[in-house]
Every structure is written in structure tokens, then in C-alpha cells.
Chains A and B, each alone.
Chain A
């Protein structure tokens, strides 16, 4: 009777461990960002790309409209792919695009904008990548949609596509 009890406990424990490990197999062991979590925009002070002057986040997001923050760099190939779509979005009056030039060389970034066009109402310099961290970014390109209450309501990791553009247009309408 006593041995049966021990056997029952051991088998029960093994079954429990099996379920835990089996469930664990289905969990990815890489980072998956939360793309729909509502967050406040960070408070920061950044350098303007063209004037070189420092500007606060309050001043950047002062209008009562939607904003899109796009992290880009001239060395980033997917950024070239998404650029025409950003140009398309910039024509929309109810949204302003803010570019975050991530770990880039000024001349290369300027050539990029001159060649492909400037969809941004303002470009900020993120020389050391810390501004991207403030937004919760971990790569480039990344795009954040900010609502009128100054909350980040959507985050798109990687280059945006037509489907995402349509989704953004639907939200800001």
C-alpha cells in the first residue's frame, strides 16, 4: 500500500513535469515584441537633423493629430523597401511623420533623403541608438503609431507593407 502511494506520487510528478516541458516546447525562445500594447510616448530631448538644435518631445508632438515615428537608416536595406509607402502616408493630412535616423552617417542619410524623397515633417538624430531604446525598439526599421492622446497605440517591427499602410489609414481616418 505504501509502495503504491510512492509510485503514484512519482508517476504524478513525472506526468506534471512532462506537461510543463511539453508546453514549453511550443513557446518560442526568441523575443516577440508586444505590438498592440498601449504606452505613453517617452519624454526626451533630441537633435534635429537639419538645424542641429535640440528639441523636446513636447514640442515635437505638440499638435492634436496622429503621429508616425519611423526608425530608419541609410544603411538599412528594408528601409529602402518601405520608403515609397512612407511617402504615400506623408500625403495624408491627418498624420505627421517623424523620422528617427538610427546610428547613421549624416551625409549618407542626407543622400538617402535627397534620392528617395523626404516623407518626414521632422527628422531626429539617434546617433547612439538610445532614443530608439526609449521607444522600445530593438532594430531598424520600426514604426510606431501615436494617437491624439500621445499614446503609442501600434508598433510595426520590420518594413511596413501596403496592408499595414491600409491599417494605419483606417485608424487615422
Chain B
């Protein structure tokens, strides 16, 4: 009886961890698929598309995740095959410096103006 109890507990534990692992993989897979552009569709991600190309990419991503590969590696694999265009989130490189840095510069510039207007003027008044 004791052996049976141990066996059932072990079985339930293993099933639960398997279920948990599948769910984690599914979340990661959907996250990756939403960030991959369907190259033959108009403005659709691979996640949203049912095209042949999208379904092949879905299978590849699923395979890579099940092999235990990390999210970044999956993007790297696809970038190597299709270039930066395949991924919605562009990497920081010499082509995208302006894209990444301009909002930050504008934010700092705006912040400086607000600081000058509000804080310094307030100090001058007092």
C-alpha cells in the first residue's frame, strides 16, 4: 500500500511538472510568434497568420523551444535566415541608432525644458 501511495504521488508530481513545462513553453512560443513577421502576409505576425510560411515557422519555433533553446537564439536563427526584417523588435545596431536613441533624446530635451520652466522659475519667484 505504501509503495502504491508513493507511486501515485510520484506519478502526479511528474504529470504536474510536465503540464507546467508545456504551459511555460506555450507562453514562450506565443510570445516569440507574435514578434515574428509573416513575410508573405500584409502586416500580420506569424502568430496571426495561417499561411504555409507561417505554419512552417510555427513548427520550427516549436521544435527549437522543445530542444531547450532560448528566445534570443530562436530570433538569431531566423535573423540569420531572413535578416532583421523577420523580427518586429529591431536590434540596436548602426542602422537603428536613431530609432532607439531619438525618443530618449527627445525625452531628455523635454525634461530639461520642463525643469527649466517649472523648477528654475519657481526658485526665481521665491
- Chain A interface (Cβ < 8 Å from any Cβ of B): 20, 31-34, 39, 103, 128-130, 132-136, 138-139
Contacts and interface: CB of A to CB of B under 8 A. Distances in A.
A31 B82 contact: yes
B56 interface: yes
Contacts of A32: 85
Nearest to A34: B83
B39 interface: yes
B40 interface: yes
26 contacts: A20-B98, A31-B39, A31-B40, A31-B82, A31-B85, A31-B86, A33-B82, A34-B83, A39-B80, A103-B52, A128-B55, A128-B56, A128-B59, A129-B56, A129-B59, A130-B56, A130-B63, A132-B56, A133-B60, A134-B81, A136-B81, A136-B82, A138-B39, A138-B53, A139-B40, A139-B53
Interface in B63-96: 63, 80-83, 85-86
5 tightest Cβ-Cβ pairs between the two chains A and B = A129-B56, A136-B81, A31-B39, A138-B39, A133-B60
Contacts of B28: none
Interface in B9-58: 37, 39-40, 52-53, 55-57
What is the predominant secondary structure among interface residues of chain A facing chain B? loop
A105 to B, nearest CB: 14
Nearest to A138: B39
Nearest to A13: B106
Contacts, number: 40
A130 B60 contact: yes
A26 to B, nearest CB: 15
B115 to A, nearest CB: 16
Contacts of B80: 39
Nearest to A126: B56
Nearest to A102: B52
A140 B40 CA distance: 12
A126 to B, nearest CB: 9
B81 to A, nearest CB: 4
B78 to A, nearest CB: 8
Nearest to B99: A20
Nearest to A103: B52
A32 B84 CA distance: 11
Contacts of B57: 133
A31 B37 CA distance: 10
